[in-house]
Structure 1
Amino acid sequence: MMFTRRSRRAIAASFIGTASLVLSGCGTSNGDSGASDGSVTLGFVNGANTHFHQCLLKAVEQTGKEEKATVYTANSKQDAGTELSNIEDMISRNVDALIVQTVNVDALEGDIAKARSAGIPIFLTSVATSDMSNVLGVAKVDLKKVGELDAGWIEKDAAGKDVKVGIVAGAPGAASDLLVGGFQAALPANAKVVANQPGMFNPAKAQDVAENMIQAQPDLDYAFVANEEMAFAVRKAFDAAGAKDVKIVTTNGTEDGLAAVKSGQLSATVANSAMQIGQTAVRNTIGLLDKKQGVEKIANIPLVLVTKDNVSEAPQYCPK
């Protein structure tokens, strides 16, 4: 299906949205520009409220303002049903395109179908679908590669010795499944996964999981944690249990995460900048809508395995 702003608006004008959540307008919604004068109007459906999602939101809003776009935002709070409702709400706002940080890859099929029926293209952040023909584009983080990089660090550090590994995953679906899948597949044969539980991207939950894990596996050697916010809570639980020697690998590359790697609290993190994801999503969405030359449909976000030796090489994570 070819989308144009004129044809899409004609289709979407007939759509009656079921507005279940309050959406916030940002970017250039102060009247200086917007749909009324022909500039692009974007809807951003975020997936949760973690530090990553907050930084992603900030990047989308700031870049939207720079690009003179009107941006409406909503948060799905890790619920696929809420995500679909948010997308319906955005359709009722007659946006030119949707940027979606999905909570569950499996839910995207229904999301994309709903938007396509209204003639509105979807641009994805972080994860891509298996069939990209139905979406406008993606700012993609190779989440399997993130897991692989952390597993590679463990392989090098273990140096062939038999070791035990625990996993504190995120919320089932989307990012966490890809991260954990990539990590497990890349572990060497001498590294045995002895525990794998979801921390739900919630530090308090992750701390409970870590406390139970270290009680059941007091000789644990390594832990892979699906984001830095949870990793700090896991570190706290391990230290309180006298397991300060357990080495933690994780992902994000926040300022606090980099400081923790530098101090030795965390052994490694994979930096994938939320700021770069948000900036790329907005700029490429607008560029693809306007059919600009050289704009990538699939834009891969750079990944950096960060250890004490290369902390200075990590990209800026969150907009100022």
Structure 2
Amino acid sequence: MKPITRSRRAAAISLAGVAALLLAGCGSDKDGGGSSDGSVSLGFVNGANTHFHTCLLKAVEQEAKTQGAKVYSANSKQDAGTELSNIEDMIARNVDALIVQTVNVDALEGDIAKAKNAGVPIYLTSVATSDMSHVLGAAVVDLDKAGALDAEWIGKDAAGKDVTVGIVAGAPGAASDLLVGGFKDALPKNAKVVANQPGMFNPAKAQDVAENMIQSHPGLDYAFVANEEMAFAVRKAFDAAGAKDVKIVTVNGTEDGVAAVGEGRLSATVANSAQVIGETAVKNTVALLDKKEGVDKISDIPLVLVTKDNLSEAPQYCPK
């Protein structure tokens, strides 16, 4: 996917990344999925297998049970072609609506068209399109803003000094491109990006990237990492290379991430609760299908920049 420019990001309201159909209780050996008895059937097409996506799935399943809905889930594993195939499978299952955590904003056009032609409405999580006329709704994470919050923290911490910054992005696509774009745009002029490589939302890959980055830039001051799972691996690589002073900022706000901020292993993280996203998506999908009044078509998910100074303000990230 080509990098998303400011105009592309404006066309995609922002988050944060599956090939096998996951059906609970249906004997599938391709991955796990969930279902609960109910009169409304929902298809949930997830984007990847990171901690965020796992928590998102759990939130969708739990809220569907609360709402008395049946939910089938599939995982596209960061592949746009698999996402479309999963959507086709859900349409064939005759679900009442689809909830989609897309892997690629560019892929949404085809996904939405396929569902529209089948008469199955789509509700989006993390991102929304500029044209929402053919979409039921969206629970939106402003990924531009999430990246910008981390960049602003670096600006304040650097206090006008010239500093160097490394970026460990995710996989090319919706979440990573928007996060990194927002981060770069908000950096002050005294902060220079000296490296920008994808970690593919994979801790092992991110560790390799970080090892190469610190070898090439031994005086690195800060690193922006596209999720906490990778950030822990980056921290490990920097520490092993004797670069313990490099300050890492990231996103997610998981329990482990917030704890790492408190311990000083990470300097800041932007909390965007997977639990809130999943719960909002299911509640609003069911309500919009029922044509209930007072339900927003687009719901903005709150973002919180978490530092040592406000650890208690981090929202619950993953359902228990």
- Aligned twin of 1:44: 44
Are 2:143 and 1:143 equivalent residues in the alignment?
yes
Change (3 A) 1:89 1:251: same
Alpha-carbon separation, structure 2, partners of 1:212 and 1:312: 35
- Aligned twin of 1:15: none
Alpha-carbon separation, structure 1, partners of 2:227 and 2:280: 21
Deviations 1:44-65 (A, max 9, x none): 0000000000000000000000
Alpha-carbon separation, structure 2, partners of 1:221 and 1:132: 41
- Aligned twin of 2:8: none
- Aligned twin of 1:28: 36
Deviations 1:165-198 (A, max 9, x none): 0000000010000000000000000000000000
- Kept after mapping to 2: 8 A contact 1:27/1:62: no
What amino acid is the match of 1:162? D
Alpha-carbon separation, structure 2, partners of 1:134 and 1:151: 34
What amino acid is the match of 2:22? L
- Aligned twin of 1:176: 176
Alpha-carbon separation, structure 2, partners of 1:157 and 1:21: 44
**TM-superposed deviation, 1:21:** 3.8
Alpha-carbon separation, structure 1, partners of 2:132 and 2:214: 42
Are 2:114 and 1:114 equivalent residues in the alignment?
yes
SS at match of 2:200: coil
Are 2:102 and 1:102 equivalent residues in the alignment?
yes
- Kept after mapping to 2: 8 A contact 1:123/1:136: yes
Are 2:158 and 1:158 equivalent residues in the alignment?
yes
Alpha-carbon separation, structure 2, partners of 1:311 and 1:23: 36
- Aligned twin of 1:92: 92
What TM-score does the superposition give when structure 1 sets the normalisation length?
A: 0.91
**TM-superposed deviation, 1:40:** 1.0
SS at match of 1:309: helix
Alpha-carbon separation, structure 1, partners of 2:301 and 2:83: 24
Are 2:217 and 1:209 equivalent residues in the alignment?
no
SS at match of 2:220: coil
Q: More displaced, 158-167 or 123-132?
A: 123-132
Are 2:282 and 1:282 equivalent residues in the alignment?
yes
- Kept after mapping to 1: 8 A contact 2:63/2:279: yes
SS at match of 1:299: strand
Deviations 1:140-170 (A, max 9, x none): 0000000000000000000000000000000
What amino acid is the match of 2:70? T
Gapped regions of structure 2 (runs ≥ 5): 1-18, 25-33
Deviations 1:184-240 (A, max 9, x none): 000000000000000000000000000000000000000000000000000000000
**TM-superposed deviation, 1:27:** 3.5
Deviations 1:33-88 (A, max 9, x none): 3xxxxx21100000000000000000000000000000000000000000000000
SS at match of 2:308: coil
**Could you tell me the percent identity over the aligned residues?**
81
What TM-score does the superposition give when structure 2 sets the normalisation length?
A: 0.91
- Aligned twin of 1:54: 54
- Kept after mapping to 2: 8 A contact 1:179/1:226: yes
What amino acid is the match of 1:269? T
Gapped regions of structure 1 (runs ≥ 5): 1-19, 34-38
Runs of 4+ in 1 over 2 A off after TM superposition: 20-23
- Kept after mapping to 1: 8 A contact 2:272/2:303: yes
Alpha-carbon separation, structure 2, partners of 1:91 and 1:23: 14
SS at match of 2:74: strand
Are 2:296 and 1:296 equivalent residues in the alignment?
yes
SS at match of 1:132: coil
What amino acid is the match of 1:114? K
What amino acid is the match of 1:223? A
